[in-house]
Structure 1
Amino acid sequence: MKVLLHPTYFPSIAAFSAIVQHDVIWEAHDNFQKQTYRNRCYICTDQGKHMLNIPIKHVGGNEGRQKYSEVEMENESKWKKIHWRTLETAYRTSPFFEFYEDDLKPLFEGPETSLYQFNLQAMQVLGECLGIQIPRDETESYEPVREDMLDGRFLVDAKKQIHTDFDPYSQVFEERHGYLPDLSVLDLLFNEGTNSLDYLRRQPLSFLNV
């Protein structure tokens, strides 16, 4: 069955498991909301769980809400350079960082300004790293309720806790901070490498049926 998802910044393991296990339709006509995974993800550094947040340009005056597809990233803040340096520092000693860095680094060097398109592009690169084709199908209009597919749009909410029963895997700083579940799929990729796809395929997705 198809699943409806938001394109997010290096998705969580839960969201990427859904991408791997289902045909995906991307929500392309929603409004941008703060405190969501549209412009943030979580990794693990030597200090513990750490948020990477993409700064965006906010509209003002009478324009009101922005469409997600129209949101622009605030590249003047040099966030791409900061995020890449943070990933290097956090995962340089992980088993597979060097294996994937040449694929991922160009994402943090390009001139892209659209948050929506950048997230889609990043997922295409993740798909290439995993050896799978990432879907490109998008919605044609916004519908608050979808009964013709699984609605996974709630996964975009960074404040919403979902229950997962995922297998643990080895993490770089596990001895210091304990196992941290459902981080960005980057954490899985850098720690598990070529085993990542099999891992994502076998995780239970009961949270999609809530």
Structure 2
Amino acid sequence: MKKVAVDLHFLPCLEFFSAIIQAEEILISPSELYQRQSYLNRTRIRLANKIETLSVPIQGRRPRVPLSRVKIDYSQNWQKIHLRGIQSAYGKAPFYEFYFPYLEPIYLKEHASLWDLNYEMLTICLKLLKYSGKVTVCKNLDEEEFDLDLRGQISPSGTFLERNLYEPVPYTQLFGLDFEPNLSVIDILFCTGPEAKKLLLRSIKI
């Protein structure tokens, strides 16, 4: 698989990465429209007693406008809430001290738009996963050629079981006896470190 077009999610889930990890090129665009009730501004982590959704608040109701025009609401204390949640969830994880310093500075910045935040988060996550392909920012994805179009496919509505992208491969998580699949990519990074990419490659549904 050479080129894959995707939505620019916030700290994407494992289904997202299993779908793109073998691609030679990932295509994204700031002109793609914001969708409510999507992964564009939320991700899921595992706390001691529950699965927690971390959401990035945005300004206004935000009808369908380009992601680059969606402004983050910095009047809310969401950055500290996220950082505190991540520390609570993964502070004792084997690779927390190694990977957290890459994420914290991104959280502490005020990004011009949701697009800018998500792009920086995706870039660092791909670096930590040792992704060997490239990311291309396109003006209009509808004018590009690609092998797989994943836009609009990976969403909180429905489950990964209904799609044909991700087959969970269990790894050791911090809390609970049962494996919780398809959390944020930071779950697999903090828990498995350098093994994360191998696990994602094994998670590709064929």
Shared fold per TM-score greater than 0.5: yes
Hey, what does 2:14 align to over in structure 1?
13
**Correspondences of 1:19-30 after superposition (within 5 Å):** 19-22=20-23, 23-30=25-32
Hey, what does 1:172 align to over in structure 2?
174
- Alignment identity in percent? 28
Hey, what does 1:3 align to over in structure 2?
4
Hey, what does 2:38 align to over in structure 1?
36
**Is 1:70 aligned to 2:69, yes or no?**
yes
Rounded to whole Å, the distance in 2 between the matches of 1:156 and 1:204 is: 14
**Is 1:81 aligned to 2:83, yes or no?**
no
Rounded to whole Å, the distance in 2 between the matches of 1:74 and 1:119 is: 15
Measured after TM superposition, the shift of residue 19 of structure 1 is: 2.6
Rounded to whole Å, the distance in 2 between the matches of 1:105 and 1:184 is: 16
Rounded to whole Å, the distance in 1 between the matches of 2:132 and 2:83 is: 24
Rounded to whole Å, the distance in 1 between the matches of 2:172 and 2:104 is: 24
Q: 1:123 to 1:135 in 2, by over 3 A?
A: same
SS at match of 1:16: helix
SS at match of 2:71: coil
Letter in 2 for 1:5: V
Measured after TM superposition, the shift of residue 148 of structure 1 is: 4.1
**Is 1:195 aligned to 2:201, yes or no?**
no
Question: Contact 1:74/1:113 (CA < 8 Å) preserved in 2?
Answer: no
Measured after TM superposition, the shift of residue 165 of structure 1 is: 2.0
Question: Contact 1:38/1:156 (CA < 8 Å) preserved in 2?
Answer: no
Measured after TM superposition, the shift of residue 134 of structure 1 is: 6.3
Measured after TM superposition, the shift of residue 34 of structure 1 is: 0.7
Rounded to whole Å, the distance in 2 between the matches of 1:148 and 1:131 is: 22
**Correspondences of 1:151-162 after superposition (within 5 Å):** 151-162=149-160
Unmatched 5+ stretches in structure 2: none
Letter in 2 for 1:165: E
- Higher mean alpha-carbon deviation, 98-107 vs 129-138, is at 129-138
Q: How many residues align?
A: 200
SS at match of 1:137: strand
Question: Contact 1:127/1:134 (CA < 8 Å) preserved in 2?
Answer: no
SS at match of 1:43: strand
- Higher mean alpha-carbon deviation, 154-163 vs 31-40, is at 154-163
Question: Contact 1:27/1:138 (CA < 8 Å) preserved in 2?
Answer: yes
